[in-house]
Chains A and B, each alone.
Chain A
Amino acid sequence: MFDKLKEKLVNATPIKTAEAHCDGPCGVYDPAQARIEAESVYMMTKKILDLKHPGTEDAKAHAAYHNTLTRFIAIKEERAELAKHHVIVLWSDYFKPEHLEKYPELHTLFWKTAKLCSSCKQEVSLEHAQELLDNIKEIHKIFWETKGKDVAWYLASQ
């Protein structure tokens, strides 16, 4: 009877979830996720810069131009945010203090890489998109060194 009352009272209250780990204990990480998104950012930036304005008063041509440009911008925005997410997950969840001892530049590298993701959203800059890829290449190198594996860097878009 008393237990039933307690049960009713408890089950009438809202419940939230507390993570006793942040991403599940799978331990699967790979900078390739960030690299793929950063490659998309580079390609979209290039496509935006290469897109030709119709230069006529034709309404259909204008609509098509704006539609294409908007899609390119939306994809660049989305992929830069995903790249940032994957970079931050590696930074916060994979790398540990012992890695920082061996690679003292680690925090600066990740901080600059996350900031580059934001720059790539704000701007239409091939230089920053390339710099983002270069930084992720450096993260790739350090990441696989900590794993004791020799994994070659490659780009899917080339």
Chain B
Amino acid sequence: MNDLRAANFIEIILLYFGFRSRYRVENNSMFPALRSGEQVIIKKSAKLKVGDIVIARHPYKKSVEIIKRIKEIDEGGKYFLIGDNKDESSDSRTFGAVSIEYIKGKVISRLSNYDIGKV
């Protein structure tokens, strides 16, 4: 599993100009990779592979976006998403694999407390 690196300056510039998006993680289903309250940067049209952390639209709850890891990509190109902390995760084990339209982007880096001014 790939550990998330800290955001670099170029990514912050791209974020500022709207080429990247910023998300705050709530709850602990991605613990220990990501703790509740941490912020991440996502890239919308990134190539996806097994092990990547992604933001996806919840299949049954239109207004909810979730953060999960790709466990498997099936032959039909659907993504099986799962939380790292399985005890606290509602994921593809309950709602099944999702198609690419549900994936909002790949989490490429995390923002440190220095980046967001919480030092």
Q: Which residue from B15, B87, B90, B95 sits with its C-beta under 8 Å from A23?
A: B90
**Are the CB atoms of A25 and B28 closer together than 8 Å?**
yes
Apart from A19-B27, A20-B28, A92-B90, 6 more pairs, CB < 8 Å: A6-B115, A11-B117, A18-B24, A18-B40, A19-B26, A20-B67
CB within 8 Å for A97 and B93 given contacts A15-B22, A20-B66, A20-B83: yes
Of residues 29 through 61 on chain B, the ones whose CB sits less than 8 Å from some CB of chain A are 29-31, 34, 36, 39-40, 55, 58, 60-61
**A-B complex: 7 closest residue pairs judged by Cβ atoms:** A18-B67, A21-B27, A7-B117, A20-B29, A22-B90, A25-B88, A20-B27
Contacts of A17 on B, CB cut-off 8 Å? 23-24, 26, 65
Interface of A is mostly: mixed
A155 at the interface (CB under 8 A from B): no
- List the interface of chain B (C-beta within 8 A of A): 9, 12-13, 15-16, 18, 21-31, 34, 36, 39-40, 55, 58, 60-61, 64-67, 83, 87-90, 93-95, 111, 114-117
Distance in angstroms from A85 CB to nearest chain B CB is 10
Q: How far is the CA of A68 from the CA of B115 in the complex (A)?
A: 58
Distance in angstroms from A81 CB to nearest chain B CB is 14
Chain A-chain B contacts (Cβ-Cβ < 8 Å), number: 105
**Are the CB atoms of A3 and B114 closer together than 8 Å?**
yes
CB within 8 Å for A6 and B15 given contacts A18-B67, A97-B93: no
Contacts of B93 on A, CB cut-off 8 Å? 96-97
Distance in angstroms from B29 CB to nearest chain A CB is 4
Contacts of A20 on B, CB cut-off 8 Å? 25-31, 34, 36, 66-67, 83, 88-89
**Are the CB atoms of A95 and B94 closer together than 8 Å?**
yes
Question: What are 22 pairs between A and B in contact, CB < 8 Å?
Answer: A6-B12, A7-B117, A10-B111, A10-B117, A11-B117, A15-B22, A15-B39, A16-B21, A17-B65, A18-B24, A18-B67, A19-B26, A19-B58, A19-B66, A20-B28, A20-B29, A20-B66, A25-B27, A25-B88, A92-B60, A92-B90, A93-B94
